[in-house]
Amino acid sequence: MVLDRIIARDRIKLGIADVDKWTAIEELADLIVTSVGGSDREAMLADVLTREEKASTGIGKGIAIPHARTSGVPTTIGALGISREGIDFESEDGKPCHLIFLIIAPLEESTRYLKALSAVAAIGKDADRIKRLIEAGSADEAMAILGEVEGIDH
């Protein structure tokens, strides 16, 4: 499974601005609920927000990965929010996050969930890819960049 298989065009939101991290997470959760049948918004949000309250998911280099395993989704799924201005996620490096990857998995799923988180972390090691994603002009462009990320099996 590569990121372009768990994040679809209709789950990419460009131009997130003037919101806090909590609102950004809600906006991305809404994309998942709209896109994927069988999703329970309240269960999903409760689990993601509880996880975020324990410790920030801002991993640095402009990336945040709010995530959770939950009864609120039928399969491992993701959404991507892109903010050119950046959102304060209380990141490890103290810098705003421009790429917010919401990764959600069913309670019984571990392998795909961890591989998806690992793939997002791999993006953080590629400054050029980060810059290209932040500057993406369309969901299609962002999808093409996500499709370049290696190392995750179906």
Give the active site residue among 67, 69, 112, 115.
67
CA distances to 28, 70, 79 from 101, rounded to whole Å, are 8, 16, 6
Query: What separation in angstroms does the CA of 109 have from each of 15, 67, 69, 116?
Result: 31, 13, 8, 11
87 phi and psi angles, rounded to 5 deg = -125, 140
Task: List residues bridging with 14 in a β-sheet.
Answer: 82
H or E stretch covering 79: strand 77-87
d(CA 10, CA 12): 6
- Please identify which residue in the block is written with the tokens 């190392």: 151
Confirm whether 67 is a catalytic residue: yes
Which residues belong to the active site?
67
